[in-house]
Structure 1
Amino acid sequence: MSSENRTPTETVPDPHARPGPEVLDALGTDPTGLTADEAAARLDRHGPNALPTGESESALVRFLRQFKDPMIYVLLGAAVLTTVMGQVVDTIVILAVVLVNAIIGYVQEGRAADALESIRSMLSLDAQVRRDGAWRTVPAEELVPGDVVRLAAGDRVPADVRILEASNLSAEESALTGESLAVEKTPEPVDAEAALGDRSAMAFSGTTLASGSGTGVVTATGTGTEIGHITSLLGEVESMETPLTRQMSAFSTKLSLVVVAAAVVMFVLGGVMYDYGLGELVLAAIGFAVAAIPEGLPAVLTITLALGVQTMAKRNSITRRMNSVETLGSVTVIASDKTGTLTKNEMTVRTVVTADGAYEVTGTGYAPDGEIRCDGRRVDDVRGQEDLHLLAEVAARTNDSTVSREGDAWVLSGEPTDGGLRTFAMKAGIDGDDAHRLAVVPFDSAYKYMATLDEIEGIGRIVNLKGAPDRLLERCDLSADERTAWEARIDELSGRGLRVLAAATRRARSESTHLTTEDVDAGGFTFRGLYGIIDPPREEAIEAIRTVQRAGIRVLMITGDHAGTATAIGREMGITDEFGAVTGAELDTADDAEFAELARTRTVFARTSPEHKLRLVTALQEQGEVVSMTGDGVNDAPSLKKADVGVAMGIKGTEATKEAADVVLADDNFATIGAAVEMGRTIYDNLRKAIVFILPTNGAQGLVILVAVLLGMTLPLTPVQVLWVNTITAVTLALALAFEPGEPDIMDRPPRRPGGSILSGAGITRIVYVSVLLGAITIAVFLGGQSAGVALEVSRTTAVNTLVVGQIFYLLASRFSAGTSLRKELFTTNPISWLCIAVMLLLQAAFVYLPLLQTAFGSAAVGWAGWLIPLGAGVVVLAVVEVDKALRRRR
């Protein structure tokens, strides 16, 4: 029956669980494919086989977002009022400060991610499809459900395809499923509940065919495919605010409300208690608001984070969103994919077992660096160990892969498992001379072995056999006891999470130069031993995990790989629990409470789907955890986007993963995360120091204006002078704190409590008393100048100098939060601080003596007294803070 005469459903639930003919029938097609007319009609109904494009944030929106801060709103309100009152200079200065902050944020902030567009680049461009009974090449976007397609090694699968015929067909699916090995594809249906990585009857859009050939029928296109489902998840995921963003937003809102309320109270009291004019009261209120708002804080925050970004870039960690550097410093849980992240995604022979004993093979990856050990001792002469020598010979000869050095790296050409065997043979000193190969039976999933006929000098013709242990045991001459013993060794290796292959040899039974499966199946082989193969953990990642665990951070492994493999790797890395791995099937059957408990208590999750990873991250966040997710496959992209900070592998990671992530590791080194955590904690410490340093300037200035209005005296500082002090203090002295090195115990502390205040109790206390101290000294200096008959401009300039010099000495005290600053490290650990002090003094000298700035800010030249008095005030500030720190240390 032709396909156009049927009534197709064009959708098939669980096609992997249904026989191929049944799937064809449900899709309204047959092995000859669709007609061109039917394909066109279906294309109109289903739309092109493509994924939706992402929406990028425009430059204008990104720029306007820099003004989204309550403190900026207060300043903009002050600019409007000064404009109405004709105070043009004040308006220009206020708007200039706001604009500079916005430009800094705009320039430093990275572009918004476009993960969907990156996944689009994974899709195939063309497909071999059968239309009108003939094979033709069409753009992959024109495929529709019911199309019959042809698949071959090296192809990218153009849509989700139900396999109908397969010859040694396998697919590399690690980017989609997390499976570290190529997956064999067969037409046989599997269980309806099989995990994505176990659906051997399906080939999935965006994955790559590693070997063989076959045909299949398209069951889903576009957003209906598994990779399309991931794009839907990405579109639904809302990026989380970072802890710092939440804390700074709450801090800005509270501070702005307090400042506005205090300005209103001051305005009312000034009007009731004294005969101020409306204009004077408005200017005084504006001056108070401008004084109390730390308008330089957003710039300090942005610049400090930008410096962190640059530092991390030097350490191979590319930060796409600035706040993410600090967020890494606050994480409480690091969840990581396994394949390619914690492991190298390079198959390695870890153990070999012969009839005479077991051998340990050191080294990882495809570099032939390592040793073969027996009972802890190195085997120097492999050829002298006949059992080991024969096992290495089989590994080298039944092998079509090559491993070669390209620059500083060893690169595999061929199948990963064969690459691991080739590397083992090279470690044993066996190259495997293919020139002596007479015939070969290539590996096929139907019989699960590979055999070669080799002419070996001095021995003759030998058949070498490598493959699945059960298939080789059937073809070897073994007693019942011998077979039972080997089966026990196979089970033991498999229980350690190793992939097990076996080796056997036999003398050729004729002088023929041909070899067939019938020859192999005739048996008579001698069983030579077993290879235990694994995708090994990255050595540097093991130490990195210990480092972050010491810092109080939980580490979870969430992988699509098999439970046994995940448990074994987790055990080696120190992140497994006593119960082993939780499987995706167990997660599916858990209710919300059970799921949350599993997320809270377990550490290894295996056979997981993108939905499982996303749900685990969400469950952890709902429990108040700050979560970092690390991965390299497109299946990790939704959970990376959802996490508080997503970390992608830069070398082997897919573009989709890198676009969804906040941080990209340029060296694919999990250990870089440990360095990033340390940097994040240092940045947070320094930001906290900067806030505790900046706010007393604002507190002192606000106090000066408030006291002046309440006492009915002339303002010691004008609004533009206040802005001058705030701005140059923030961009010079406060910036110096961004270069402070981390405290010695920074990676021995537990993570800070999520949701806590950015200011500690001790910090708030210091802000209060330093504000009062600086404000009182400034008022005293101003009143002293006025009582001595000094001109108003000179008195105000001396008051400004007092604030500036007082802040310089306060900076020296602030560089060490608890320890004394009166030590040699004050001069040796942060030379940038002294450069910033020098710049600050130069700017202040310009404020005092340059005519242009005198006109703009109402300043005037001062004599030596105008500097000595502030110097004495600074010494007092330093002494008081050091006494406070000494008392706290004693308590």
Structure 2
Amino acid sequence: MPYNIPGHLKGLNNTEVAASRKKYGYNRIDAAHKSTALELLVDILKEPMLILLFAISAIYVIIGDHAEALFMFIAIVAVSAISFYQDNRSKKALEALEKLNEPLSVVIRNGHVVEIPTNEIVVGDLCLTEEGKMINADGHIIHSNDFSVNEASLTGESLSVFKSSENEDNKVYNGTVTVSGLAVFEVEKIGKETRLGKIGTSLSGIKEEASPLQLQIRKFVKTMAVIGVIVFLLVCVVNYYHTRDLLKSLLNGLTLAMSVLPEEIPVAFTTFMALGAWKLMREGIIIKRSSVVETLGSTTVICTDKTGTITENTMHLKHLYDYRSDKTFDEEHFKEAALSNLIGYAMWSSEPVPFDPMEKTLHQVYEQTQKNDLRGAYTLFHEYPLDGNPPMMTHLFENAAKDRIVAAKGAPEAILQVSLLSEEEKNKVRALVKKFGERGYRILGVAGSHFEGDDFPGRQQDFRFDFLGLVVFYDPPKKGIQKVFQHIYDAGIKVKVITGDNTDTTKSIAAQAGISNADNVIEGKEIIEHSGALLLQEVKEKVLFTRMFPDAKLMVVNALKQNGEVVAMLGDGVNDAPALKAAHIGVAMGNKGTEIAKAAASLVIVNDDLEKLITGIAAGRRIYANIKKAVQYIISIHIPIILTVSLPLFLGWVYPQIFTPVHVIFLELIMGPTCSIVYENEPMEKNTMLQPPRKMTDTFLNRKELGRSIVQGLVITLGVLFAYQLMAQKGGSEEQTRAMVFTTLIFANILLSLTNRSFYYSLLESFKNRNILFVAVTALTLILLFALLYIPSLSVFFKVTGLSLAELGQALIIAVASVLWFELYKLLRRKQRKGRA
């Protein structure tokens, strides 16, 4: 890492680091408590389903049914194991994400500049910070270069403060942001001992707000729990009225309560979100909060910057315009003597150790064209960071003889505004800038000045500048970017380009990149002048937003949100942080993004590839669709279980207790993995990314969808009860009838899980979406069913008998009829849609 650091700064050695860590610990606030495996297990045992199982086990022990009690104990272990596996899987996925999200810090150790995880900073370390970096410990400055810091996170003061080792205020604090320059500071406090750490412990009690989907699911589960309590009481009363046996009445009531409780839904939601975030991490998309996955699928507009996102960020220098000779030179003639002054000042106005691609190019061209390389002789002793509207920056260098160079570069408009040119001369340059811009070039103006003394102007715009010329770069659109934007448009998502570049350049590049309506342009200064309905209308209509600055970006994002859009905002700089924070999904770039941008964002794209955002949106849509499938499956299959347990009792049928707790828990053990493991692994349906995004305000199940699931459940109930009556009317015993009912319901369950893989495409079409877990769970379910029917010890325990081949065929036919009617419904839907197309 190339930093101009004084040689006497050696930092700690390995022994000193170990000693400091032993004394002061790691640089962690430790505000958030991490659940241990034991705590996870205790939380699982508090779940309503487990409490019901404990209650049923206790009743079995009291009435002397020890075999059932033992089975219930095994069921408790099995349910706990499944829940523990899911919770632990989710926890590990989130921990992996958290580790990836941890910022890195630059320190000097053993005389070398190295990058380390922030939590490994120790007291006594020499930390480096520069523009755009977050400061990650408290300390005092020992070396700095035009260093300023924003301490708004601690003081609320938005203006940056200049600090140095000579100042009375030479302290820096964890959580603040470097606005300009560079500083080396010695760490004095870490973790909970920092000023931010002391605030952090009080913030630890503040919990993240639940997402709309989480709130909807919680409400649904609570409603089902209330229904469960009512039905439990009803069954207890009716059963007690008929039998006068309190314990058996409680057992029947608890059986029904267990069948009503949809405890799989919250587990499924957590699993889907955590594993979704983990899978995206493997794709190079780092999610800060797993609930962002849900929001991704609802994205309606993407606000993207231009440089490095749409373009390659290569910044190839194509032309130089020298004002003195009034000539434009192409790259074959950069060694011309007339260009020496322009090239020199363009380089001096760049950072001494450049990280921006344009500045790197200017240093390379200087090196290739100048006979005498003066960079080693001059030192940067004062600088004005990029500011103004439009922006510019100025650097002051000095050599040992006190000779000075005052160099500035920036947007051509900014440089022309501060230059000594006449209006006529300025218009001549503006015409040239427009000509270059229309060809998609990125143009910077270059100027020089002279200043004696140390009483520098407060603003760089107050220097008297001589206009020297233009440097003209070409940053071509990325290969395949047109295809990326076509995917975005196909998904019903709008695109807005928000850039600091000028209008002509942006329009040209946008057209080359395949952005629709690239003529709809507005500049940042116009945005600031608008408000109310006019602003909302402008952000709705305009596609390109040029010469943008932080306040204007924030206004655009907020206006889009007011228009009901779900906004994904891409940004990489310090100035993008407010807009990133305000957007529904703030997206920072992993390579070119500053630490402050990454901290403000909710998602980081590791390789700066816009196509990865499409991958994330597709994942969000897939996960949301699969959660709905899982929930609809749970609702549909719970209805026949509830009604099969209750209706024979209420209607006074010959075998009122056709299902006991052991049968219900067997079904629960099948349904849990199906909804939370199998559906989570379900691939995205074809044409998902050709549909418009769903509205954020939509409930996770609308009335039509809920009604569809209820009808599915009721039809399965009719089939199961028909199987009950078919066997009972033939004079079948209770065990035979139970076996018939149970087998029909298991077959129906398998078919339901298959047909509900899509609510539009046919079951056969869905088989093209490979999901090995469906095959595994279906096979295991059938093996368990046949074991239960045909292994005598299990048959006796479950109070069933084996069915003949004809009876198995009847059960299958009834299950097919009660489930696969839905395939006809889907066929009608497809025909209707084709008819409308």
Contact 2:754–2:763 (CA under 8 A) maintained in structure 1: yes
Say if 1:531 and 1:279 are closer, same or farther in 2 by CA, change over 3 A. Answer: same
**Aligned partner (choices 6, 15, 31) of residue 55 of structure 1:** 31
Counterpart in the other structure of 1:277: 245
Q: Report the 3-state secondary structure (helix = DSSP H, G, I; strand = E; otherwise coil) of the residue aligned with 1:239.
A: coil
Q: Which residue of 2 aligns with 1:502?
A: 446
The 8 Å contact of residues 342 and 670 in structure 1, kept in 2 or not, is answered as yes
- Asked if the contact 2:147/2:181 (under 8 Å) is kept, the reply is yes
Partner Cα distance (2:53, 2:506) in 1: 60
1:104 aligns with 2:52: no
TM-score (norm 2): 0.67
What secondary structure is seen at the aligned counterpart in 2 of 1:843? helix
Q: Is 1:288 the equivalent of 2:269?
A: no
> Which piece of structure 1 moves more, 250-259 or 228-237?
228-237
Letter of the structure 1 residue corresponding to residue 210 of structure 2: E
Structure 1 position 383 matched with structure 2 position 326 = no
The share of aligned pairs that are identical, in percent, is: 22
2:444 maps to a residue whose letter is V
Quote how far apart the aligned CAs of 1:383 are.
3.0
Encode CA deviations 1:247-294: one digit per residue, 9 max, x unaligned. 21122112222232233233334444x345222322222111222233
Distance verdict in 2 for CA 1:678–1:501, change over 3 Å: same
Alignment counterpart, residue 240 of structure 1, candidates 209, 232, 235: 209
Asked whether the equivalents of residues 318 and 665 of structure 1 are also in contact (C-alpha less than 8 Å), the reply is yes
**SS of corresponding position for 2:637:** helix
- State the partner residue of 2:723: 781
Match of 1:414 in 2: 353
**For 1:55-454, what aligned pairs fall within 5 Å after superposition?**
55-60=31-36, 63=39, 72-73=47-48, 76-77=51-52, 79-80=54-55, 82-84=57-59, 86=61, 88-89=69-70, 91-92=72-73, 95-96=76-77, 98-99=79-80, 100-109=82-91, 110-111=94-95, 169-171=145-147, 196=159, 239-272=208-241, 274-275=242-243, 277-319=245-287, 321-332=289-300, 352-354=320-322, 382-383=331-332, 391=339, 395=343, 399=347, 414-416=353-355, 420=358, 422-423=360-361, 431-432=368-369
- 235-244 or 706-715, which moves further after superposition? 235-244
Measure how far apart 1:548 and its partner are.
4.6
Alpha-carbon distance change, 153 to 869 in structure 1, aligned in 2, over 3 angstroms:
closer
Residue by residue, what CA displacement relative to the aligned partner does 1:221-247 show, whole Å, maximum 9, x if unpaired?
A: 999999999989987986332232122
Shift of 1:731: 1.5
Q: How big is the shift at 1:618?
A: 8.8
Give the structure, 1 or 2, with the largest relative contact order (CA under 8 Å, sep 6 or more).
1
Pairwise CA distance, 1:765: 2.9
Query: Residue 397 of structure 1 contacts residue 432 of structure 1 at CA under 8 Å; is this kept in 2?
Result: no
Counterpart of 1:719?
661
Q: Structure 1 residues 607, 468: closer, same or farther in 2, change over 3 A?
A: closer
Check conservation: 1:567, 1:581, Cα contact below 8 A: no
State the 1:854 CA deviation: 4.8
Equivalent in the alignment of 2:617: 677
Give the match for residue 12 of structure 1. none
**Corresponding residue of 1:580:** 523
| Change beyond 3 A, Cα 1:222–1:78 | closer
Q: Which residue of 1 aligns with 2:636?
A: 696
Q: 2 CA distance for matches of 1:827 and 1:486? A: 62
Kept after mapping to 1: 8 A contact 2:589/2:608: yes
1:415 alignment partner, SS class = coil
Tell me if 1:707 matches 2:647: yes
Q: How far off is 1:55 after superposition?
A: 0.4
- Does the C-alpha gap of structure 1 residues 207 and 526 become closer, same or farther in structure 2, counting only changes over 3 Å? closer
Does structure 2 retain, via aligned residues, the 8 Å contact 1:118–1:655? no
Alpha-carbon RMSD across the aligned residues, in angstroms, is 6.5
* TM-aligned CA distance change 1:782 to 1:486, over 3 Å: closer
Q: Does the C-alpha gap of structure 1 residues 870 and 646 become closer, same or farther in structure 2, counting only changes over 3 Å?
A: farther
Secondary structure of residue in 1 paired with 2:470: strand
What secondary structure, in the 3-state scheme, does the structure 1 residue paired with 2:719 have? helix
Give the whole-Å Cα distance in 2 for the aligned partners of 1:599 and 1:528. 37
8 Å CA contact 1:346, 1:416 repeated in 2: no
SS in 2 for 1:431: helix
Partner Cα distance (1:154, 1:677) in 2: 28
Task: Say yes or no: does 1:838 pair with 2:782.
Answer: no
Matched to 1:804, the amino acid is I
Contact 2:213 2:699 in 1 (8 A): no
Aligned length: 734
SS at match of 1:288: helix
Q: Which amino acid aligns with 2:293?
A: V
Q: Is residue 309–residue 318 contact of structure 1 (8 Å, CA) maintained in 2?
A: yes
CA deviation profile, 1:668-692 (whole Å, cap 9, x unmatched): 3343222111111111112212222
Contact 2:296 2:616 in 1 (8 A): yes
Matched, 1:751 2:720: no
Residue 283 to residue 712, structure 1, CA distance change in 2 (3 Å): farther
Number of the residue aligned with 2:762: 820
Give the match for residue 485 of structure 1: 428
Bigger Cα displacement from structure 2, 224-233 vs 438-447: 224-233
Q: Distance in 1 between matches of 2:375 and 2:641?
A: 91
After TM superposition, give the deviation of residue 702 of structure 1 in Å.
Answer: 0.5
Contact 1:69 1:249 in 2 (8 A): no
1:28-81 Cα deviation digits (max 9, x unpaired): xxxxxxxxxxxxxxxxxxxx9x999350223159956995999x4365245335
**For the residues of structure 2 that align with 1:618 and 1:451, how far apart are their CA atoms?**
42
Aligned to 1:870: 811
Q: Could you tell me how far apart the structure 2 residues matched to 1:96 and 1:319 are? A: 33
**Residues 856, 199 of structure 1: CA spacing in aligned structure 2 closer, same or farther, 3 A cutoff?**
farther
In structure 2, do the counterparts of structure 1 residues 140 and 720 end up closer, same or farther at CA, with 3 Å as the change threshold? closer
The separation in 1 between residues aligned to 2:38 and 2:587, in whole angstroms, is 23
Give CA deviations for 1:559-610 in whole Å, capped at 9, x if unaligned: 9xxx6779986996669975533799989xx99x999999999996955489
Q: Which moved more, 1:101-110 or 1:330-339?
A: 330-339
In 1, the alpha carbon distance for the partners of 2:207 and 2:311 equals 29
Q: For residue 700 of structure 1, report the CA deviation from its aligned partner.
A: 0.5
CA distance in 2, matches of 1:331, 1:474: 40
Please give the per-residue CA displacement for 1:281-314, whole angstroms capped at 9, x wherever unaligned: 2222211122223343444444444553453233
The letter for the 2-side match of 1:882 is E
Q: Tell me: CA distance 1:92–1:887, structure 2 relative to 1, closer, same or farther (3 Å).
A: same
Partner of 1:3: none
Trace 1:631-650 onto structure 2 (pairs within 5 A).
Answer: 647-650=587-590
Task: Give the drift of 1:324.
Answer: 3.1
SS at match of 1:353: strand
Whole-angstrom distance in 2 between the partners of 1:526 and 1:331: 48
Once residues 478 and 756 of structure 2 are traced to their aligned partners in structure 1, the CA distance between those partners, rounded to angstroms, is 41
Structure 2 segments unaligned to the other structure (5+ residues):
1-23, 62-67, 110-121, 385-393, 454-464, 833-837
* Alpha-carbon distance change, 199 to 238 in structure 1, aligned in 2, over 3 angstroms: farther
Once the two structures are TM-superposed, the CA of residue 863 in structure 1 deviates from its matched residue by 3.7
